[in-house]
Amino acid sequence: MMKSLSTNPKVLLCTKYRKSSGGFVDMLGYNIKKIIIGPSLPRDSSIGLRFIKQNVPQVEILEFPQWQQYVNKLKEGWDIVGFSFYQDEIDDIERMAEEAMRYNVGELWAGNYGALDEKVPSIVDRVFIGPAEDHFAKLFGCRVLDDQIEHPSITFQFNLRPIKTSLLKLGFLYTKRGCPFKCIFCQTPTFEKRLFNINIESIEEVLITYKRMGINHLVVTDELFGADHQFTEQITELFARYKFFWFAQSRASLFSRHLDTWYDRGLRAPSIGAEAMNQNALNNVDKLQRVEEIVEYARRTKEKPGMYRMVNYMIGYENMTAEETLEDIMRIKELGCEAHGINILTPFPKTPLWDRIESKYGIFERTYSKYDTKHLVWNHPHISPTQMHKLHKKAIRSLNNPFKTYGRFITSFLIGEQARNQ
């Protein structure tokens, strides 16, 4: 039975706690050989929580606190403490939930992709899947419908670590919820079943704010940019009007189809989920993408000055041996892209891949921290965990030279600035 809540409850929403004071996000992936000096983003903001706060200002948010900061906040007394997290963070969230109960919090709530795990309902009182703005608005007698969601201003300082020299200030943008494709390894079709656009008036207001702050570069964090052609036309026209350079993630075919227009409107850092250069592997995970489309994307984007191409790539497909994986890594390398996110195929709860792998091969790893796409967690028919670890390291060495990858990121934007001003 749920506890009776106040008609004006005190609500605190948290991310996982930070285990050190210097936490950062490697902008180009957690899978590049580390060097003493390198670009990074401080991990101090949560896009999801910022959206909720923007639309339901009555809630309070706490983003990546250190443990004692979290404990001190609990002492203020709360009717609801909610957690936003991913699969590999569940152990940390369980510790945070236990601590919250010590301070007599009324209810514990959970959201974000980690809430899809079957253990989570035993940790919290309520689990929410998908966009949560309206859930929280109802607590205060309000509604926030999908077409009413307002976009918050979210900025990050792109630094040079460890000396924290500022390289670039970035504005983040999230224009569309969900993805129409059904890749069997992806949790998005389960988590965000509703597909909708953030209202364009709100987006334009944020772009104006960024411009007033002197920001010229945008990171568009949509799962799939460009799926709604008419809406994307309006968005990219705004990017051009306010003279932004921008990053976006989409499919190779969509980038190739709109490349000339998007480039003229400021696209400088396209990212695709290539996943593999083996067509059987792509078909096996319902990627609905042809290898020829990936090759064409690489060829055409290479012709554009100042482009910085990022490729998300996976190893560990059930139909591929270690030798075939090494051959595939070389085919990805031949594309000549600037940066690669390299992951090991990982089944996640509530996906078709999870069901298939668990029934056909078995999932042996139940340690949540291993679900970071850098560990083999299931019984692969051809490759052992030790072999997979070596393959992953080989892929990193082959595909991401840190000096080339980081250096090209910086110079690509400088070249882009010069091309725009000519």
Q: Is the pLDDT of residue 23 over 60?
A: no
Q: What is the CATH number that goes with domain 155-421?
A: 3.20.20.70
pLDDT at 146: 92
pLDDT at 241: 98
Report percent pLDDT > 90 for the chain. Answer: 80
What is the rounded distance in angstroms from the CA atom of residue 87 to the CA atom of residue 363? 15
pLDDT at 418: 47
CB 185 within 8 A of CB 169: no
> How distant, in Å, are the alpha carbons of 76, 138, 319, 377 from that of 347?
39, 34, 15, 8
Q: Is the pLDDT of residue 1 over 50?
A: no
pLDDT at 412: 67
Task: Name the residue among 248, 252, 251 with its Cα closest to residue 293.
Answer: 252
- Residue 392 backbone zone (phi > 0: left; psi -120 to 50: alpha; other: beta): alpha
What is the rounded distance in angstroms from the CA atom of residue 220 to the CA atom of residue 157? 15
Task: Name the residue among 394, 353, 393 with its Cα closest to residue 377.
Answer: 353
Lowest-pLDDT choice from 30-39, 106-115, 297-306, 374-383: 30-39
Longest CA–CA separation in the chain, Å: 66
Tell me the average pLDDT across 311-336. Answer: 97
Q: What is the CATH number that goes with domain 11-148?
A: 3.40.50
Q: Is the pLDDT of residue 335 over 50?
A: yes
What is the rounded distance in angstroms from the CA atom of residue 73 to the CA atom of residue 67? 10
Outline which parts of the chain fall under CATH 3.20.20.70.
155-421
Q: What average pLDDT does the chain have? A: 90
CB 195 within 8 A of CB 185: no
pLDDT at 45: 84
- pLDDT tens digits for range 215-253: 999 999 999 999 999 999 999 999 999 999 999 999 999
Tell me the average pLDDT across 185-193. Answer: 93
What is the rounded distance in angstroms from the CA atom of residue 249 to the CA atom of residue 270? 6
Task: Name the residue among 67, 32, 39, 63 with its Cα closest to residue 50.
Answer: 63
Task: Name the residue among 101, 73, 79 with its Cα closest to residue 15.
Answer: 73
> How distant, in Å, are the alpha carbons of 37, 64, 105, 120, 369 from that of 99?
37, 16, 9, 16, 20
Long-range contacts of 291-298 (CB under 8 A, 24+ apart): 293/251, 293/252, 293/253, 293/256, 294/252, 294/335, 295/335, 296/252, 296/256, 297/252, 297/253, 297/255, 297/256, 297/270, 297/272, 298/335, 298/336, 298/337
pLDDT at 159: 66
pLDDT at 101: 96
Q: Structure tokens of 31?
A: 């899978």
Tell me the average pLDDT across 323-348. Answer: 96
Those residues whose C-beta lies under 8 Å from the C-beta of residue 361, and which sit 6 or more positions away, are 318, 378, 379, 380, 381
Tell me the average pLDDT across 299-313. Answer: 94
Outline which parts of the chain fall under CATH 3.40.50.
11-148
pLDDT at 97: 98
Tell me the average pLDDT across 338-352. Answer: 95
Q: Is the pLDDT of residue 161 over 80?
A: no
pLDDT at 402: 75
